[in-house]
Structure 1
Amino acid sequence: MHLDTLTANSGEWLRGTGPDSDVVVSSRIRLARNLSQFPFPVRAEDATKAEVFSLLSGTLGELDASPTLHPFDLGELEEIDAQLLVERQLISRELADGDGPRGVAVSRDETVSVMMNEEDHLRIQVLASGFDVKGAWAKADAIDDAIEAQLPYAFDEQFGFLTACPTNCGTGLRVSVMLHLPALVLTKEIQKVFQALQKIRLAVRGLYGEGSQAMGDFYQISNQVTLGLSETELVEKVAEVVPNIISYERRVRKALVRQDRRSLHDQIARAHGVLKSAQTISSDETMGLLSSLRLGVNLGLIDELDPATVNEMFIHTQPAHLQKLKGQELSSPQRNVARAGYLRDKLANAELDTDQ
């Protein structure tokens, strides 16, 4: 598996065909684990980290579980390749920006990635298209069991799985759902959602998780508590809450169409027009316009595009993807020009496909 092949597609989890994919882009399960015989990465010397990385890479490469995982050494990757993995949600910024022996093992379809020597020895992640936290959990649980059968985890009867950050102790589980909520943002109803989620101890984060800004009206909803509840209970909690947000977003979308269809259609058409004709465009502006475009596609106001194509444009217009597609390092102004060119070509080809 070569990282350059990633730019040829947008990953299985972005195919736009999962349950409730008009609102939910993806579901994610992440498990934090540490090996019992080694100090945590934050306290480990590079020699120890190298030993852990070698042990984990070998184990993951021969894991008796599906799918097959392909290890990558972050120390050997170019900075742009590490950024590419961040943009595709396969590794965290912390792992990309870290130092010392560390890496990731990735499945070819990009639904599974296992980070090594980030904050913990292991961060097992499973991504699924649409709203499928239970399916993602079943897959992550099977991979977790397969690893534990080979390597002993740091575990305490009282505190559960031991992690570098106390907030991850217990199950070490984060259940996340990435939602596209343009109607709630447009009507300023989104604050009501934030307040309700805070009351039940669910966190709201941006596109790239903790510490990131919300872009393109994308928000990640995840559990804050990992101790005191079982994995199944945590998955069920998120699974019960998210349908209410999905329903809320859909109701507001319908109300917008019913109350002022012409104005909404005009906003979406203008976004479409800018994306088809811009000669230079920033990443932030692109995300906002693509958000409107995605809303228009899901409301049936734009016929020549499908959700998967719009999702692909969200990913391929990010800085590392643009530079990989161009095959060269680009300054910020150069990326703005390349981004506009990519969007013009993509949308023109979509219109040609529709006409044929």
Structure 2
Amino acid sequence: MSQWVIFDLFGFPYRTVLMKTNGRRYCQKPFKCEELERLVVKKSDNYVRQRGKYFWQQRGFPTEQSFLGVMKVYMREVAVEKAGSFSCEEMFRLRLKEWSAEEEFPDLSQHNNLMAKHLTLDMYSQLRERVTPRGFTLNQVIQPGVDNPGHPFIMTVGCVAGDEETYEVFKELLDPVIEDRHGGYKPADKHKTDLNPDNLKGGDDLDPNYVLSSRVRTGRSIRGFCLPPHCSRGERRMVEKLSNEALDSLTGDLKGKYYALKNMTDAEQQQLIDDHFLFDKPVSPLLLASGMARDWPDARGIWHNDNKTFLVWVNEEDHLRVISMQKGGNMKEVFNRFCTGLTKIESLFKEKGHEFMWNEHLGYVLTCPSNLGTGLRAGVHMKLPNMSKHAKFEEVLKRLRLQKRGTGGVDTAAVGGVFDISNADRLGFSEVELVQMVVDGVKLLTEMEKRLEKGQSIDDLMPAQK
């Protein structure tokens, strides 16, 4: 027997459904999630009770129990397909509890990242039912690290945040990851900020014969919006709109223009990439696994001043990437422009009723746990053809709290002995302290390179651990 039944359930008035009482039914078995199964029974009972004692007879069912049984089947199906009036968290648990934690725990036996190092089955079981107010789950947090076992030489973090609340909701996992990545930074520690360029000592005298270019960059996230791994198209477009409006208000040396990626010609886009001004479509497996390349290039773009010395990337890995850069070794000038521009941008957002994500423990909140705190990377491209071959090169960098990359960034080779040298830390140090480390370290590396050019020893120049 088939019955056309018009239900008014879960906020879907008068939805018509064909119910086959003698045919195939979906979701006939009770949910393994006892909480949701009780909710299904309760809603089914209430539906019948509210419509009168003999409502089931009016719908052609032989008994009240037979009608109630069909109601439960339908309730489960609506729960699975439409979510109905179940909350986001209830629906998440509904799907989750069909499988045990042991059945769902990822195989991390061959992985080399901080997420895999700290995530245990017990922790997974404890955290997997949690969801942030904006719907970001544990599986979304860890997916980049699950899909990418790790870099052979670099210990990646292997996880991302989908919103500001991620770091609190999943702190049992993220706190040890942060502590490991940021040199023992404890959950009770407080971050410090210093964007006063006058506090930087020196930096305007780096040898231009060795230092080819200087750059300082950071990221910023706009409070109230999901981060790139989890944002919707509408959110992403609103971030672009707000950013464009704020940046358009900059004046003087910072005056510039916004260029949307979708409106650029291929030639224009490639030229900006070749000039190291523009980000390309993400190809890194880590970025792809996190969902940051969705809808590319919609609502992505670059803003730069007329001199192309101050740039803002919009909707790449973070809402905003703010960059100050120029040729040569005047890091002080680069940092001064960076601090001035960044402070002005933040004030423009505040004027429009928006602020950046920040708290006293994590500093500025960004997508990747590795960039928390300052989010700052101060770097130079410098010639080190001799020093880079020295047996103590890696040890020197470690003691100076610096890191090296190839000429084109991570996973690229150093062309002509030119390396990208930058600070290794982000969290627990102020912006001035990090840039100072780079300035002092680059000066020492330059002196060591000059010694080696002359065939002299550098043993007496070996630095103490900072």
2:259 counterpart SS class: strand
| 1:255 Cα deviation after fit | 4.2
**How many residues matched?**
237
Residue in 2 that maps onto 1:243:
443
What does 1:18-57 align with in structure 2 at a 5 Å threshold? 19-57=206-244
* Higher mean C-alpha deviation, range 99-108 or range 170-179: 99-108
Q: CA RMSD in A?
A: 2.3
Residue in 2 that maps onto 1:170:
373
Contact residue 312 and residue 323 of structure 2 kept, 8 A = yes
What does 1:147-186 align with in structure 2 at a 5 Å threshold? 147-151=345-349, 152-184=355-387
1:159-201 CA-to-partner distances (Å, cap 9, x unmatched) read 110000111111111111110223445xx32x52233213443
| 1:117 Cα deviation after fit | 0.3
* Higher mean C-alpha deviation, range 159-168 or range 133-142: 133-142
Contact residue 23 and residue 246 of structure 1 kept, 8 A = yes
Residue in 1 that maps onto 2:427:
227
Q: Distance in 1 between matches of 2:338 and 2:283?
A: 22
1:29-53 CA-to-partner distances (Å, cap 9, x unmatched) read 0011111121112211122111111
Q: Distance in 2 between matches of 1:68 and 1:96?
A: 32
Amino acid at match of 1:122: L
Tell me, which stretches of 5 or more residues in structure 1 are unaligned?
1-16, 257-356
Distance change >3 Å, CA 38–CA 65, structure 1 → 2: farther
Higher relative contact order (CA 8 A, sep 6+): 1
Select the residue among 311, 321, 335 that pairs with 1:123: 321
Amino acid at match of 1:201: R
1:91 counterpart SS class: coil
1:265-319 CA-to-partner distances (Å, cap 9, x unmatched) read xxxxxxxxxxxxxxxxxxxxxxxxxxxxxxxxxxxxxxxxxxxxxxxxxxxxxxx
| 1:130 Cα deviation after fit | 2.1
Residue in 2 that maps onto 1:67:
254
Tell me, which stretches of 5 or more residues in structure 2 are unaligned?
1-203, 285-292, 350-354, 457-466
Contact residue 206 and residue 331 of structure 2 kept, 8 A = no
* Higher mean C-alpha deviation, range 45-54 or range 76-85: 76-85
Residue in 2 that maps onto 1:112:
310
Contact residue 184 and residue 252 of structure 1 kept, 8 A = yes
Contact residue 213 and residue 325 of structure 2 kept, 8 A = yes
What does 1:1-356 align with in structure 2 at a 5 Å threshold? 19-64=206-251, 66-94=253-281, 98=293, 99=296, 100-151=298-349, 152-184=355-387, 188-189=389-390, 191-255=391-455
**% identical aligned pairs:** 29
1:57 counterpart SS class: helix
Which has a greater percent of helix?
A: 1
| 1:66 Cα deviation after fit | 2.7
| 1:154 Cα deviation after fit | 0.8
1:144 counterpart SS class: helix
* Higher mean C-alpha deviation, range 196-205 or range 33-42: 196-205
2:253 counterpart SS class: coil
Amino acid at match of 1:253: E
> How does the TM-score come out when normalised to structure 2?
0.48
Contact residue 182 and residue 217 of structure 1 kept, 8 A = yes
Amino acid at match of 2:378: V
| 1:64 Cα deviation after fit | 4.0
2:452 counterpart SS class: helix
> How does the TM-score come out when normalised to structure 1?
0.62
Contact residue 379 and residue 421 of structure 2 kept, 8 A = yes
Contact residue 206 and residue 214 of structure 1 kept, 8 A = yes
| 1:153 Cα deviation after fit | 0.6
Contact residue 193 and residue 245 of structure 1 kept, 8 A = no
Contact residue 402 and residue 441 of structure 2 kept, 8 A = no
| 1:82 Cα deviation after fit | 2.2
Contact residue 254 and residue 341 of structure 2 kept, 8 A = no
Amino acid at match of 2:365: L
